[in-house]
Amino acid sequence: MPEKKGKRFHINILKKNGDIALHFNPRFDEKAVVRNSLISNEWGNEEREGKMPFEKAVGFDLEIKNEEYAFQIMVNGERFTSFAHRLEPHELNGLQIGGDVEITGIQMH
């Protein structure tokens, strides 16, 4: 659940070498959800298309599927967006969550 006074939070899906295959970053202060990747310590081009599906102090379900060509991202059971792989989508081994969000549960398959 995003915190009531929160400005942003992020979810990173990581590779073994520290690269970020997906940086998912809802920003309430900008009314946008930024998607990006970090490869060899360099950020790629931001993607910001789409509505802001999150509300402060309101719980949500987020599902990120690693498919062959892209991550498919669902919010509360509805398709939100996709993010085309910029890195080889295999060997993902880390999940990082930070910022103004309270986590009540995580499922990984």
Distance between CA atoms of residues 32 and 55, nearest Å: 12
Burial 11-33 (b: 16+ CB within 10 A, else e): bbbbbeeebbbbbbbbbbeeebb
Task: Write down the pTM of the prediction.
Answer: 0.94
Q: What pLDDT score was predicted for residue 109?
A: 61
Instruction: List, for residues 40-95, the tens digit of each pLDDT value.
Output: 999 999 999 999 999 999 999 999 999 999 999 999 999 999 999 999 888 899 99
Domains, the chain: 9-99 (2.60.120.200)
Instruction: List, for residues 18-32, the tens digit of each pLDDT value.
Output: 999 999 999 999 999
